[in-house]
Chain A
Amino acid sequence: ILNVEQSPQSLHVQEGDSTNFTCSFPSSNFYALHWYRWETAKSPEALFVMTLNGDEKKKGRISATLNTKEGYSYLYIKGSQPEDSATYLCAFGRSSNTGKLIFGQGTTLQVKP
């Protein structure tokens, strides 16, 4: 059974705080690691797709790192804003042919003004 674990399950921070989440995934047969941002009543929005060990990606105040050898990825948010409140999902992909993704349960972030 392939498991993708995310921690923490939920997080409450004050506006301006920086925060980070963890995604753990199987380190064998790695193809890609995805991060999504999911707001209630909306579609998950793609943040990053990372394929290479040591990858670092950045989008505004959000960045992510990838370690495929030990099977983890970190997502960082610098200076959190209330509009960052959402559930952040990571997903692990093993195959480029089928494109199947295994999702973690997500980390729900609440940023208080």
Chain B
Amino acid sequence: SQTIHQWPATLVQPVGSPLSLECTVEGTSNPNLYWYRQAAGRGLQLLFYSVGIGQISSEVPQNLSASRPQDRQFILSSKKLLLSDSGFYLCAWRQGAGYTFGSGTRLTVV
């Protein structure tokens, strides 16, 4: 079966600390993968997308980066977190015309 896994579910990190959020999919190959974020009081914003291994497109300038080291793995990172990086992060996988989302990570930077 096709599933998407995202972890951790919640994270509290101090300002200036690094970040690594991981997303993996199962049951498919060469998926289009996406990282979205919902900041407080705002809608879901696309951060990065990837159409294949090593292929990353960034949508907005920011303090974050993404990598796709394997076909079904998508990682969101930061070297030094800012307070403004707080939010709810969702990984998504495109299935045909529709999307399947991961369960999300609530990141609080303190």
Q: Do A and B bind each other?
A: yes
Chain A nearest CB from B87 CB (Å) reads: 14
State whether B97 touches A49 (Cβ < 8 A): yes
Inter-chain CA distance A44–B104, complex, in Å, is: 9
Q: What is the number of contacts between chain A and chain B, taking CB atoms within 8 Å?
A: 48
The range of chain A's interface size is 20 to 34
Which residues of B64-110 are within 8 A (CB) of A? 90, 94, 97-104
Chain A residues with Cβ under 8 A from B45's Cβ? 103
State whether A104 touches B43 (Cβ < 8 A): yes
State whether B90 touches A44 (Cβ < 8 A): yes
State whether B103 touches A43 (Cβ < 8 A): yes
Inter-chain CA distance A51–B97, complex, in Å, is: 9
* Nearest A residue to B43, CB-CB: A105
State whether B98 touches A34 (Cβ < 8 A): yes
State whether B103 touches A99 (Cβ < 8 A): no
State whether A101 touches B99 (Cβ < 8 A): yes
Inter-chain CA distance A98–B94, complex, in Å, is: 10
A selection of 15 A-B contacts at a CB cut-off of 8 Å is A32-B97, A42-B103, A43-B90, A43-B104, A44-B90, A46-B98, A46-B100, A97-B51, A98-B49, A99-B32, A99-B99, A100-B34, A101-B46, A103-B45, A106-B43
